[in-house]
Structure 1
């Protein structure tokens, strides 16, 4: 069944409208109103559309605070990334319900038969057949897919001069009219989110104020581009669920946020990812590009919301994470109202709680090899487990290929599973 961008957008927007007031941007009074990006993931079945995850947010941790996160503070809660984390949480919750016999069947997840599993494709669960996944975003993803919009918003759109060297790497400038990927991506540094906006087709870090501590968190454009090869699954979830059919079918953007040339360059098989065409890897992974659709719907808390004379917009510091089973409001990457490094502040989508839940599921379905991998003493041990070598191979292939210049946001993996529930 062919689906339109408006139909997907409507499902996510209706779900947001049902959020409690505490999860929505505020009208601060005195002419000050808040805005926030919204993203959601929608499952398309044979005769229905179901929202499986919705999130708002626009912030991430600076690199100098990653080591302090200890698996309880989120590294990145831009709406797109938080929606994907929330989607992974929903999938794990469904696996847990099946494994613990709280459910006999799931509309979305099934147990794989033993003869489906191989050494490289070993996961005990899979997404049900016949489901397509779509993602709606109220704003163009930060990074490469929004550079033309960034240029158009400048009072002076004259390209900035690139410095001769950033972080010891000599950057190459792509003219602002060129939508092709750079000929040699190794010459590009990890540029700031909105800086040097005439350099196109390259990996960027999240945008931030010039006076803010720098982050190494990659832009949403780059992370979504990578997801076309790694699937929507996180490392932990990919130990339990087959990645083979968990790829986005489409990305939906408001027409006002859609630059055809930018999206073609950032995401399509004819843009910077063209060398991945037809690429497959062991473990059920394959380059699976999504299409980009548009909608004429506008999110009522977008930065394009109508303002009366004298009113102004400011970013909201509240983000929200929703699935059919969970709802949370977050500030600073932890539960609203909690101290950032208190274990009780840990969101259900944080690394430590997701790890704990994945381990519980592995024990219930009695797959000893997966359970042993998840019992690593530190989170870094789990990420380095042999079972994840197939996923690591995919990431390495893409990061040293079309997404060259990807600087890993290392550190902060020396924590255990203690102190939190599922």
Structure 2
């Protein structure tokens, strides 16, 4: 079922959208047109999104022959479908609203956009619903979605809609074919319902920057196809379920900026495909940096900052050469920085170990990180010679952060400027033993 509507050139700049080129759907000698009831519902939905645009005047003909970008129809004339009694038919399959870019000039939303419940009752063939920055001022409540809606829906996406409100369980319908569930930057609240685990086709759940509370539903671990789980920036708490380690297809797990507590479960080590792990700024405590990280060879980013994990930085980096980013700030870490981090993490771009209780010298091996663009070691108890070359310092510039370590010093041959660099002029020359003079 290839889409029958594709973008054309813009017809007027004010509305930021374009006509589709006229495409006539013909079966034998008969032109297929959108059902009149479905077309009337589409007019109503467009009016609720932006009442300042005369939609019926601009698009007086069949929407599936000429439509704004973001409204897509498909031809179902050669398919048997239990939902429709019409043997030859076309239907709306995608609705996308809100300006994203010049290449996706969807129908523009107004400050007073409302969420019309007809979206969830009148378009039984919808595969995609997309709203970007549409509900920003006037409160828009999530409707109760009828149980018979959504059998074809594959993507349900709301991004940057802070005025969208209502309990999250209203939007978790009987979407048996749903692959993407994205509610990001909304006013949606409440507990994530256990019924989300019944949406067995889900590959992405992104519920970041909302007002969610409670814990991670245990039923979530039934989603064997899940590749992205992002619950960041909410009010979630309790322990992270051990069973989350059963989501072995996960590529990204982001639980940051919540109130999760207890121990980071060792079962996460079973996530052998995981590339991105962010558990930062929760309440995990007193268990140290998890050793299971050594068993995750595909890991590219790991962020644990803002948890009171304590302990030393483990020497687990030998098989983790693909890591690009490490965030271990403000974790109560003690001991020294392992030289093995610089030896094995040759692709490392970002390293934050600031605001801990680390001591000892800065390993010379960190100066061999050719791809590094930020290293932050501020506010520890580090001492001895600063090992970074002039070339290294020039490349990173102000992103090399060492202040708050009064025991650090530099060799005269390193040619550190004594003035003009607020981050470096604080350090004194080392004596022959490498101790600050």
TM-score normalised to the size of structure 1?
0.19
TM-score normalised to the size of structure 2?
0.19
Larger Rg computed on CA atoms: 2
Q: Point out the structure with the larger strand share.
A: 2
Q: Point out the structure with the larger helix share.
A: 1
Query: Relative contact order: is structure 1 or structure 2 higher (C-alpha 8 Å, sep ≥ 6)?
Result: 1
